[in-house]
Structure 1
Amino acid sequence: MKFVRLAGLILLLGIANLATAQDPEIKTPPVKSADTTIKRIMDEMQRIVDNDKQNASAIQALLSGRDFDNSTKYELIKNNIINASETYYLLNKKIIDLKSRTTTNNLDVFITSLNNPESKELGFSLSDRVVELVEKIILKGKTDKNDRDGKIVESTKSIINSPIFKSFTSLTPPLAIASSVMNFLHSVSVSNKAINQKSLQDFEKELNKYTIYYTALNDANQKFEFGLNFNKDQLALLQDNMYELLQFAATVLKSPLPPRGNKTIAETLNEYFLTFKKDNVVDFFKQLEDKYMIQKTKKIDYENLLRENPNLKEVNNQLEDLVLQTKRFENLYNEYFTLLDSYYAKVNNSLKLAMDNGLAEKSIIEAKQGEFRQLKTEAVNEIQASINIKELTTNVDKIKYRYRIF
């Protein structure tokens, strides 16, 4: 290029010199001036050549930068989606684990024993105490002398041992027994003049000391059960949201979700994650890279890959919703322990009521409170170890969803 331009310039100069020689009116410029002109032209030509080189370098750098930008986008999308597949799996696993929790077997046994009318965990059984109160306050110790009074005791025992109360699965048998015995004695007092209103009032006053304790314990259990059910409902809703969010990504990754049908959301997702693993997603991207590999250079054509698979960008951009779902799970996880703390406080309060009303000795109550505290600590440690929330948060931190790809 430089040679052609230089040849053209010399030709033009030659023509100019020829014209000057033929025209006597035109004076030949000094040689020095001609040399200056040629130098100036040569300098200009060199500048043009240098600019051409610079432009070529800039264009090449731009092209290289574009390729680098596409490869960066692809690697970001790829790593995000691979990490997200593991996050989906972990989130589902931990939701199921938390949904299955009540407390622990040992803690459940402890609470059940406290509420059992036959139990003597606090040094007494409600069943025995009710019979004793009937004999002492209602019958004033005359059960051996009066057969009718003996029947009252037997009827009281029959009420206490009723299969109806024993079949209760909720924590209310003691309260049901107290109410039923009280109703029975009121009905008997109509035909038995020996049972007066004062004795009934005295009996009810003593019985209320027990019902206050069991009512507080029952209230603690009911609120804990209500809180657990609400927590489970929220976890089920979280699974529904995860299913909807995963549908698009799963289709793009060539691993569509199974239809819900009559199955629960837990069954559907469990079935899906039996086969859909992080390795599946790694294989998907491996096949994609092989497809867009330029055989001559052994380099991936990232530009075509991204242009012909635009949904990959959308899957990446939707990962912000997945991260929000994991945050929701963390909140429900923390709410569970808040619920457990509240339950612990309420059960301790019921035990204190038993002590304040003289139902059990202080040493027994304090021992039970210590046992309950230990069981609660063990339950918390067991659940934390089982669910391992750190495993989930660490994986979520690998998802760079903040970098939206366009």
Structure 2
Amino acid sequence: MKPDLHLTAKYDVSLPLVHLPAKRKSDKWLKMLPATFLLLLCCAAAQAQDPEIKAISSPTIKTQDTTIRKIVEELQRITDNDKQNSTAIQALLQGKEIDNISKYELIKNNIVNASETYYLLNKKIIDLKSRTTTNNLDVFITSLNNPESKALGFSLSDRIVELVEKIILKNKGEKNEKNSKIVESTKSIINSPIFQSFTSLTPPLAIANSVMNFLHSVSVNNKQINQKSLQEFEKELNKYVVYYTALNDANQKFEYGLNFNKDQLSLLQDNLYDHLSFTATSMKFPAPQKSNQSLSQTMNEYFFDFKKEKVVDYFNQLETKYAKGKRIDYESLLRENPNLKEVNNQLEDLVLQTKRYENLYNEYFTLLDSYYSKVNNSLKIAQDNGLADKSIIDNKQAEFRNLKTEAVSEIQASINIRELYSNTEKIKYRYRIF
């Protein structure tokens, strides 16, 4: 059998040269790849070729890439924290700026409103101090207490002379010289200039007391004036004395109350002067100067210059001074003008002064109510003692009620306490600035 020439190696024939493939440039970067990365590529290729390999999940292999990832994550976290801190700082700065603006606006509004409150409180103190009642009411009371007046249908002077003639002299006043002298002496006592100088308080009581003393002294030497006559005369005279005593008590208590009210108003005005002086000095305004004139006059003159408009202008100049472009440096303004904070924090005392005035204002009307009640009581005594008819007393009580209502309305309209209330409420003294 012949050998197959195709299968038989020909040793004498040289093998063709094998041309090795040229190295590609990509080989260089392949060598630079980490072994782990190449292994992953091989696994991925195997999974693509073999379905069974795809089903097998590759285990997580921790290498240097995990460290790099952690470093990147840490850098990202630091960057995020920086952003958050920056945002927080900006918010704090903005909040501080808003806080300074709020503080300044509060101080400004409080002091501007306080300047108007100073003026109003002083004006209303002076007005209330000048009040007693009203002219019409004063005339009414004076007429009731005047021994010559016939406001209730009788004159005390005439009634005393009538009682002397009727009870002491038994209607024999013109029959002898002694009796005539007693009548003339009684009239002389009544018309004494001493008693005529009394206009509102005690002339009737003083006259009645003087006449009684005179008759007791005359009775010592005049047998016709006996003890029984004196007692009867005194009993009838006491009906008038009780009426005038009640009226006099009403007048005295009202006058005492008014004087006390005025003293308290004067003390309040002194405190207002001190507070205003502190505020003016702190803001570099000239303070009110006391002199020989009254404090009311001093204060009135001071308010010709210290006005709300001047205070507003003061703050406008302050804002111009601390302006930086379109904004105002409120932080520097507050820091370099601490006096403004102190003025603001002292405004609580001014508000308390207005409340004290309100109390005195209300006390005045309480006094007036009490006075009205006491005068009406004295008129009732006159009616009960038969000194005047009921119709006359009723008319006088109605007249007095109308005069009192008129006086209250006039004083309320003149002082206008609501004006002071509304202005004081604008001062937010509860918010103290530190």
TM-score by length of 2: 0.84
Query: How far apart are residue 263 of structure 1 and its match?
Result: 3.2
CA offsets per residue over residues 228-260 of structure 1, 9 Å max, x none? 000000010111111112222111222232222
Equivalence for 1:380: 408
Per the alignment, do residues 393 and 29 of structure 1 end up closer, same or farther by CA in structure 2, a change over 3 Å counting?
farther
Q: Does 1:30 align with 2:36?
A: yes
Q: 373, 386, 401: which is aligned to 1:358?
A: 386
Query: How far apart are residue 45 of structure 1 and its match?
Result: 2.8
Equivalence for 1:104: 134
Per the alignment, do residues 357 and 118 of structure 1 end up closer, same or farther by CA in structure 2, a change over 3 Å counting?
same
Asked if the contact 1:106–1:375 (Cα under 8 Å) also holds between the matched residues in 2, the reply is yes
Q: Does 1:309 align with 2:315?
A: no
Q: 165, 169, 174: which is aligned to 1:135?
A: 165
Identity %: 77
Q: Does 1:59 align with 2:107?
A: no
Tell me how far apart the structure 2 counterparts of residues 40 and 285 of structure 1 sit (CA, whole Å).
Answer: 59
Consecutive aligned runs of 4 or more in structure 1 exceeding 6 Å deviation:
none
Unaligned runs of 5+ in 2: 1-30, 41-62
Tell me how far apart the structure 2 counterparts of residues 220 and 157 of structure 1 sit (CA, whole Å).
Answer: 28
Q: 179, 182, 187: which is aligned to 2:212?
A: 182
Equivalence for 1:47: 77
Equivalence for 2:396: 368
Tell me how far apart the structure 1 counterparts of residues 305 and 138 of structure 2 sit (CA, whole Å).
Answer: 36
Q: Does 1:298 align with 2:298?
A: no
Asked if the contact 1:138–1:199 (Cα under 8 Å) also holds between the matched residues in 2, the reply is yes
Per the alignment, do residues 129 and 350 of structure 1 end up closer, same or farther by CA in structure 2, a change over 3 Å counting?
same
Asked if the contact 2:146–2:203 (Cα under 8 Å) also holds between the matched residues in 1, the reply is yes
Q: Does 1:246 align with 2:252?
A: no
Structure 2 counterpart of 1:121, one-letter code: A
Tell me how far apart the structure 2 counterparts of residues 388 and 258 of structure 1 sit (CA, whole Å).
Answer: 26
Equivalence for 1:206: 236
CA offsets per residue over residues 40-95 of structure 1, 9 Å max, x none? 43343333333222222221221111111101100000001111111111111111
Q: Which moved more, 1:109-118 or 1:388-397?
A: 388-397
SS of 2:118's equivalent in the other structure is: helix
Equivalence for 2:117: 87
TM-score by length of 1: 0.90
Tell me how far apart the structure 1 counterparts of residues 174 and 93 of structure 2 sit (CA, whole Å).
Answer: 109
Equivalence for 1:8: none
CA offsets per residue over residues 245-295 of structure 1, 9 Å max, x none? 22221112222322223333222222211211111111110111011011x
Asked if the contact 2:146–2:200 (Cα under 8 Å) also holds between the matched residues in 1, the reply is no
Q: Does 1:390 align with 2:396?
A: no
Asked if the contact 1:77–1:313 (Cα under 8 Å) also holds between the matched residues in 2, the reply is yes
Q: Does 1:125 align with 2:131?
A: no
Equivalence for 2:312: 282
Structure 1 counterpart of 2:426, one-letter code: K
More helix by share: 1
Equivalence for 1:233: 263
Tell me how far apart the structure 2 counterparts of residues 253 and 94 of structure 1 sit (CA, whole Å).
Answer: 25
Tell me how far apart the structure 2 counterparts of residues 202 and 55 of structure 1 sit (CA, whole Å).
Answer: 105
Asked if the contact 2:283–2:339 (Cα under 8 Å) also holds between the matched residues in 1, the reply is no
Tell me how far apart the structure 2 counterparts of residues 352 and 44 of structure 1 sit (CA, whole Å).
Answer: 100
Asked if the contact 1:253–1:281 (Cα under 8 Å) also holds between the matched residues in 2, the reply is no
Tell me how far apart the structure 2 counterparts of residues 108 and 136 of structure 1 sit (CA, whole Å).
Answer: 35
Asked if the contact 1:67–1:302 (Cα under 8 Å) also holds between the matched residues in 2, the reply is yes
Tell me how far apart the structure 2 counterparts of residues 63 and 386 of structure 1 sit (CA, whole Å).
Answer: 52
**What root-mean-square deviation, in Å, do the aligned CA atoms of Structure 1 and Structure 2 show?**
1.8
Equivalence for 1:321: 349
Q: Which has the larger radius of gyration?
A: 2
Equivalence for 1:113: 143
Q: 366, 370, 390: which is aligned to 1:338?
A: 366
Tell me how far apart the structure 2 counterparts of residues 29 and 301 of structure 1 sit (CA, whole Å).
Answer: 65
SS of 1:204's equivalent in the other structure is: helix
Q: Which moved more, 1:299-308 or 1:46-55?
A: 46-55
Asked if the contact 1:70–1:302 (Cα under 8 Å) also holds between the matched residues in 2, the reply is yes
Tell me how far apart the structure 2 counterparts of residues 232 and 29 of structure 1 sit (CA, whole Å).
Answer: 106
Question: What number of residue pairs does the alignment pair up?
Answer: 380
Asked if the contact 2:124–2:415 (Cα under 8 Å) also holds between the matched residues in 1, the reply is yes
Q: 189, 193, 197: which is aligned to 1:159?
A: 189
SS of 1:274's equivalent in the other structure is: coil
Structure 1 counterpart of 2:383, one-letter code: M
Tell me how far apart the structure 2 counterparts of residues 162 and 38 of structure 1 sit (CA, whole Å).
Answer: 123
